[in-house]
């Protein structure tokens, strides 16, 4: 079946503009995660959704970052007033609901964000 999809695949924006990144999880997966990968670095957790609620937002780096999920499916990550340090690959993952901390997370291809 279809995997996790993300759009756009690439986004170039000017400093100070807002951007929206979209994630379509695997059908039936109730858990959804956003991670950020800076150039040459590992993945940094941003936020986790279970259904439409976000029980763990601990990784969001500032109040310029927000995310929502509707209908237990699609999620949008919004970055307001973008800064150059926001440039990174934003990865989305999804997993089936199950015993916490041990489900396989399946990743999308990412959105490459460049803030000029």
Pick from 8, 9, 7, 11: nearest CA to 116: 11
Query: Does residue number 1 form part of the binding site for other proteins (CB under 8 A)?
Result: no
Nearer to other proteins, 43 or 74 (CB): 43
- Looking at beta carbons only, is 20 or 44 nearer to other proteins? 44
Residues 62-91, interacting with other proteins (CB under 8 A): 91
- With a CB cutoff of 8 Å and minimum separation 6, the contacts of 77 are 20, 21, 23, 34, 46, 47, 65, 66, 67, 90, 92
Q: Of residues 17-36, which lie at the interface with other proteins (CB under 8 A)?
A: 31, 33, 35
Least distance from other proteins to the Cβ atom of residue 16, Å: 28
């Amino acid at each position: 079946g279809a995997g996790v999809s993300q759009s756009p695949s690439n986004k170039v924006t000017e400093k100070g503009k807002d951007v929206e990144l979209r994630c379509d999880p695997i059908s039936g997966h109730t858990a959804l995660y956003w991670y950020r990968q800076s150039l040459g670095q590992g993945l940094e957790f941003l936020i986790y959704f279970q259904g439409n609620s976000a029980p763990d937002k601990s990784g969001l780096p500032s109040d310029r970052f927000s995310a929502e999920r509707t209908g237990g499916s699609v999620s949008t990550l919004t970055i307001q007033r973008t800064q150059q340090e926001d440039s990174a690959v934003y990865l989305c993952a999804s997993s089936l609901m199950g015993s916490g901390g041990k489900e396989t997370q399946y990743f999308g291809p990412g959105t490459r964000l460049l803030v000029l």
